Structure formats: structure tokens, C-alpha cells
Amino acid sequence: MFDLQGHRGARGLWPENTLVGFARAMELGVSALELDCAVSRDGVVVVSHDPQLNPDCTRDARGRFLASAGPPICTLSYAQLQSYDVGRLRPGSAYAARFPQQQPVDGERIPRLADVLTLVRTRGHGRVRVAIEVKTFPEQPELTPAPEPFVQALRGDVERTGTASLVALLAFDWRVLSAAQRLMPQVATAALTEQQSGEDTVRIGAPHPSPWLGGLDPEHFGGSIVRLVKATGAGTWGPDHLDLDAPLIEQAHALGLRVVPWTVNEPADMQRLLALNVDGMITDRPDVLRALLERAGLPAPPRLPRN
């Protein structure tokens, strides 16, 4: 079955990385919920894309949007994080303009990872997985725990909720993949890459290896991104969809890698990638991708009943 992953739940339709967004995405029908994690000052793994509070979707206890990026999540306790409402986009922001169909749900709080894992275990009926992107920044290490303690914190939540078979760990920082494969060998891993100008984490041809690659040097792999990803030990490659073409996908499949690009929101891009035989896609609009799959006669993940 095609791997239809809802990006941050389904942020084109509901508030990102929230319990309501994850529940609605499962009802819509996805094979996996893609989400991002951070760790609070008191060691609670929480679900947040940004290492700092995002002023375009975060309001304080008085209902006011933050004036600027908030403090790093790692400097706030879980109780402090619960004072913020993340259920609505700031009117007039670029974020709101990008997702005009996102429905506000006032009162949504930053969830714990454990709460999301429990939701998937109890309501997913074994048919929905959780693709957890571990957010560390090798060039800004002060924003998060180091990879190994971060993975150790995740392992605790996965073990306590009994969800190891439902979880995959994703990372741009490949030090995370090494830590995950050592500390959580039963959990699948995916190597994320970005090669667009200004955000390149791979940096093929650069004078020095990228700090994102966990010590791997592209020169040792003939400058091949596919061979480089294979060397991480991950079973899935998650590239920016703009970096993909048919030869790369063929090379990845020949090496036994699944290819699940991100973040694919335009129907034309979805159709192009389907024609190239990708194994899945991460999208803010799982409803749009489902419709394309159904029209093409391809099997889509089951819809789950609403509680």
C-alpha cells in the first residue's frame, strides 16, 4: 500500500502537531502521522516543529499572539508550555496565507509525544504508524538535547506506550540515526535530506563534510546521494521532493531503499512523483493525495471511524 503520511498531522486542514489534527488525519485516512519532537526543560518529549515557540501559531494565556519567536522549548517546563494555545494561525501572517483552509481549534495545547503514541495505539487499530522527526541542529546545539539523550528520552515514551512496532525515527541530523539504531534497534529509521540552495544539509562538493551527515563524507561514496543514504543504515530515504528524479529513485530502489519525499502539496507534483514510482509522500494535504490515489485506482490507507 502507498505510504501516505500526514505532515504534522494534516496542517493544510487542521492546526499542526496537535491532538485534534492527528485524530482528524487518521479519520481522513493516512498510513502514518509525521510529527516533530522537542524536549522540555524537565525532560518531557513534546510535539513541536520548531525548537522555539512559533509566533505565527502560538498565543499566550491572555490569547495574544507572541510578538516574536518565543524562548527555546528546552528552556521551558512542560507546565509552562501548557499555558500556550497553538490552535489558530495569526491572521495576516505568511503561514495563514499559505494554508487558508486550516480550520482553527481554539484551546489546543502542545501535546506530549506519549499522548500521541497512546492515541495511535488506541485508535489506529495497528493500521497507522508514527513517523517521528527528531529535531536536533548540529550547527545550533544549544537549541536541543544532544542526539543520544534525545533518543533515550524518546525510547522511554515508546517503551511505556508499547508502540515500538508503530514507530519510525526520521532525522536530517544523521547522528540521530546512529543513536537510534544503537539504542532502539527494533525501530525503523529514515534519513532525511535537503539539497536546495541555502538549506543544503548534504553539501556534496563542499571543502568539508556537512555536520548533518554524522561523520559520513560524500566523497567516499563518489558523490552519490543514494549511496550516502544507504551507508546510514536507514531503510527509507526522505528527500525534498524537488531534489528527486527518475534515475535517483531507480538507484535507491536498486539498493533496497524506500523513497518517501516531503513535503508534497501540489497535485501536479503528486502526479509526477506517482509516475516516478515513489513509495510514499509526506503531505500537508492528505485529502488531495488520497483523491489522486483513488482516481488512479491505487490502494489508499483505510479511513478510521470518528470517536
pLDDT tens for residues 176-205? 999 999 999 999 999 999 999 889 999 999
Q: Decide: residue 279, CB within 10 A, 0-12 exposed, 13-18 middle, 19+ buried.
A: middle
* d(C-alpha 22, C-alpha 64), whole Å: 25
Q: Write the pLDDT tens digit of every residue in 92-102.
A: 999 999 999 99
Q: How confident is the model at residue 267 (pLDDT cuts 50, 70, 90)?
A: very high
41: its cell numbers: 526543560
pLDDT at position 258 is: 99
CATH code for the structural domain at 3-296: 3.20.20.190
The values of phi and psi at residue 117, to 5°, are -60, -40
pLDDT at position 306 is: 85
- The domain ranges of the chain are 3-296
What pTM was computed for the model? 0.97
- Check whether 208 has a pLDDT greater than 80: yes
Q: Write the pLDDT tens digit of every residue in 102-114.
A: 999 999 999 999 9
- Check whether 287 has a pLDDT greater than 80: yes
**Is the separation of the CB atoms in 2 and 31 below 8 Å?**
yes
